[in-house]
A and B are shown apart, each in its own frame.
Chain A
Amino acid sequence: SSELTQDPAVSAALGQTVRITCQGDSLRTYYASWYQQKPGQAPVLVIYGPNKRPSGIPDRFSGSSSGNTASLTIAGAQAEDEADYYCHSRDISGNHAIFGGGTKLTVL
């Protein structure tokens, strides 16, 4: 079982703001990073650290954290945002890395 817990699926209407969450005790200490994965492709980093976006990632993607929950927010979801999203951080021991189980985002 994963020590980072994500909802398996989330849906949003086109243009709606959607939040994808990741829960785990280690998130009280460590930042989460977020990855977007489309079918048949390698994951792509979208958020890391304290709400930092890599070059080329639209500013509708943002990250936040509160307590044991990290969140990825997409402000105004687009059709091209439909993908699987994974959080990544440390495990509860802090010694190893781990991924959340992933959230499938459907944009309606």
Chain B
Amino acid sequence: QLQLQESGPGLVRPSETLSLTCSVSGGPIGDYYWGWIRQPPGKGLEWIGYIYRSGTTNHSPSLKSRLTLSVDTSKNQFSLSLAAVTAADTAVYYCARTVASYQYIDVWGKGTTVLVSS
């Protein structure tokens, strides 16, 4: 059974870069889209973006200027980098697998909490 696990610092200073990695176990990074969703405290889900194994990406327009997504198929990992963070970037960050047909998310990580604070 495929599992996803997020890793990264739980605290990031304002104006710095948030970096998270998602490790994929139980299967290869295959013909899917690998992405990120976040959820600020007490709020709804926000789609961040995803990356295909070839490196092709799709980002939320609101985050595109600060966002970098990457994938390392040899390590079965994909990563997120969000620059110039502010308190508004404080959230639970989920990594997830999107199935190309019908564009639905069938596997989610447990989520990791990131606090942006000085």
Contact = CB atoms under 8 A, between A and B. Distances in A.
A42 B108 contact: yes
Classify chain B's interface size.
20 to 34
Contacts of A67: none
A97 B47 contact: yes
B44 A48 contact: no
B112 to A, nearest CB: 11
B44 A86 contact: yes
Q: Which of B94, B103, B111 has the most CB of A within 10 A?
A: B103
A31 B44 contact: no
A2 B60 CA distance: 12
A95 B104 contact: no
Nearest to B48: A97
Nearest to B33: A97
Given A96-B58, A96-B60, A96-B61, A33 B104 contact: yes
Contacts of B11: none
Given A95-B58, A96-B61, A88 B47 contact: yes
A96 B50 CA distance: 10
Q: Which 4 pairs, one residue from A and one from B, show the smallest C-beta to C-beta distance?
A: A33-B104, A48-B104, A49-B102, A102-B44
